[in-house]
A = this chain, B = another copy of it.
Amino acid sequence: MGTADQTYNPANYSAANHCHVAVPPPQPFVKSLTNTLKETLFPDDPFRQFKNQPPGKRFLLGFRYLFPILEWGPKYTLGLFKADLIAGITIASLAIPQGISYAKLANLPPILGLYSSFVPPLIYTVMGSSRDLAVGTIAVGSLLTGSMLSNVVDPTDEPNLYLHLAFTATFIAGVFEATLGIFRLGFIVDFLSHATIVGFMGGAATVVCLQQLKGIFGLDHFTHATDIISVMRSVFTQVHKWRWESAVLGCSFLFYLQLTRYFSKKRAKLFWISAMAPLTSVILGSLLVYFTHAEKHGIQVIGELKKGINPASLMDINFDSKYLAGTIKTGIVTGIIALAEGIAVGRSFAMLKNYNIDGNKEMIAFGMMNIAGSCTSCYLTAGPFSRSAVNVNAGCRTAVSNIVMSFAVMITLLFLTPLFFYTPLVVLSSIIIAAMLGLIDYEAAIHLWHVDKFDFVVCMSAYIGVVFANIEIGLILAIGLSIMRVLLFVARPRTLVLGNIPNTKVYRNVDQYQNASSVPGILILEIDSPIYFANSNYLRERISRWIDDEEDKLKSSGETALQYVVLDMSAVGNIDTSGISMLEEVKKIVDRRNLQLALVNPGAEVMKKLNKSKFLETIGQEWIFLTVGEAVGACNYMLHSCNSKIVNNEYEKYSDYA
């Protein structure tokens, strides 16, 4: 279309009024690629502090970046140490029974739980940036390791091989975590949404509780499956093997643990009652068994734990191709779950205490911790929520509380392991159940239901998937649904009809603003998302339906016929080649109906592409406006000053297409 006919040229109108939508200056490809990569991978600009520094200083800063202890270590004081000492001892008292319990969840020897609370915390103290995280094994990670590795090798038939594969999976998890951190791919963890985590954690906690029925009822044989149906069948087909002594003991300790939690919740100052409860349970249970010789009457006990600190296990790491696929899968899945929990815990306490955590740096720390752990007889560790919360409540100030805990565990390993000989397994089950009940966050699920139904569906599908099928299916379901939601948002963007808000030049969605009124003869649509291949077909159909509807409505009411279609592109962040074809087709549709198309406020990226693809020439630069108000102004100006001319002119144009 030419601009020859001066009378209908909106340039006449707008030149006198406002500035035009600019095509951004062309950027070299390499520069725009660098910018995009930088925004994608370094949104927090970690190199900022290195700018304008001499090389020596840069090296020092880089070293400090990797080892935050160099930053806070020199400023460490005795006052801080006092606080950390108390917190460290408190978490050690929790770490010892929890470590032993969780190792059993992973089908590993109990002593591994203690090993895993010795080396990894030391590594984290040096490399981690959280001041509140208490390092140790995590329930869900242990359960996942157990259920996934059991599919590779049977832990009862080949306990040694199984142990070695657990080290291998831990090694792989560590390498994977560190790699994610080094390549700044931390955002992968972001794809586990809050809703997914609530549902998944709740489901995993339920599954872990169900597994404990084995310990509570003192059963010898139990299903390897984790779903509720298999577990229930396993429990109720063995009713004749239930041990009432075990059940009574288990229930009493569970009651005790829940009671202490209740008191702690009522008074924050009494948190230590709940924090110490697991250790006191272990001590009480052990004493009970020791004095009553209950181990001879059907109460299973831990038995002998080897004295001494972690043996080296570097040589045990097994890359046998027969098991490699299974261990890699276990490593990656457990690694990412450990990251998700650890980083979420670190972030929430950092938010509470007002300091920053660099997710990618944390990943490197977690990765190194697990790599080192896999060489020193530890299995997967992260920052468990329960232990970290106790750490914070006990008043920790820096990561030194982890060193204290580590030291306490070392002493236990060196001297105190014989004391656990008589510890009944059922007490460990009670400790696990008590910890797990706290992870089922039904209040969060209710909140999701109130605020966002779709998030609730995601949450529940994760929960149901984990409980009724298995952990991986639950996870895949929830992540799949979350991603589907993002894709659906892009595939089905909303197109909103805008109307004028009285006495302003502002145009807003008529559904949201009841007082917004439409402009006669002009249809104003807002597109609510980037225009991509996934939505270009939809948008074309939807826009032509809007035009149909509007024409029908105007025809039946006898108002001014439709003359202009204005597309507000403010919210269109980007466009691809399919999207541009869509716009070309919309232009044809609009032309064919004898209407005029105008665009409003396309962003820099969109303008660039419209220009490159010559669509700017097709539509004419003068039909692109800065605001909806200007577009409507120009349209009205033409509607009133030269209405008949436009129609004629449009008919002429139409004859080209017919």
A residues neighboring B (CB under 8 Å): 18-19, 22, 24, 29, 33, 39-40, 43-45, 187, 190-196, 351, 354, 359, 447-448, 450-455, 482-483, 485-494, 496, 501, 504-506, 508-509, 511-515, 528-530, 532-538, 541-542, 545, 570-571, 573-574, 576-578, 580-581, 585, 588, 592, 601, 603-604, 607, 609, 612-613, 626-627
Contact = CB atoms under 8 A, between A and B. Distances in A.
Nearest to A573: B528
Contacts of A33: 453
A93 to B, nearest CB: 32
A604 B509 contact: yes
B22 A513 contact: yes
Nearest to A502: B19
B195 A577 contact: yes
B577 A452 contact: yes
Contacts of A501: 19, 626
Given A22-B512, A515-B19, A450 B612 contact: yes
A311 B475 CA distance: 49
Nearest to A514: B22
Given A570-B570, A570-B571, A195 B40 contact: no
Contacts of A532: 193, 485-486, 489
Contact of A509 (B194, B508, B603): B603
B193 A18 contact: no
7 contacts: A43-B541, A43-B542, A191-B487, A193-B576, A489-B574, A496-B603, A570-B570
B40 A488 contact: yes
Nearest to A454: B576
Nearest to A571: B571
A656 to B, nearest CB: 13
Kindly name the residue among A191, A196, A592 whose own CB sees the greatest number of chain B CB atoms within 10 A. A191
A39 B491 CA distance: 11
Nearest 4 Cβ contacts at the A-B interface: A193-B533, A571-B571, A512-B604, A528-B573
User: How many copies, total?
Assistant: 2
A513 B359 CA distance: 34
Contacts of A491: 187, 190-191
B571 A573 contact: yes
Contact of A195 (B508, B530, B578): B578
Contacts of A485: 532, 576
B190 A534 contact: yes
Contact of A451 (B511, B512, B580): B580
A192 B488 CA distance: 15
B490 A601 contact: no
A537 B187 contact: yes
B607 A512 contact: yes
A585 B351 contact: yes
A392 to B, nearest CB: 17
B487 A486 contact: yes
Given A488-B40, A514-B22, A627 B577 contact: no
Nearest to A541: B44
Contacts of A612: 450-451
Contacts of A45: 545
Given A512-B22, A512-B603, A570-B571, A506 B453 contact: no
Contact of A44 (B44, B487, B529, B545): B545
Contacts of A490: 486, 489-490
Contact of A194 (B24, B187, B577): B577
Nearest to A532: B486
A590 to B, nearest CB: 13
A326 B577 CA distance: 35
Given A448-B577, A573-B571, A190 B538 contact: yes
Given A190-B534, A190-B537, A512-B607, A451 B577 contact: yes
A476 to B, nearest CB: 16
Nearest to A188: B491
A323 to B, nearest CB: 25
Given A190-B535, A451-B577, 16 more contacts: A39-B494, A43-B492, A44-B541, A190-B537, A191-B487, A193-B533, A193-B534, A195-B577, A451-B612, A451-B613, A452-B577, A452-B609, A455-B576, A455-B577, A489-B490, A509-B604
Given A533-B190, A571-B570, A576 B195 contact: yes
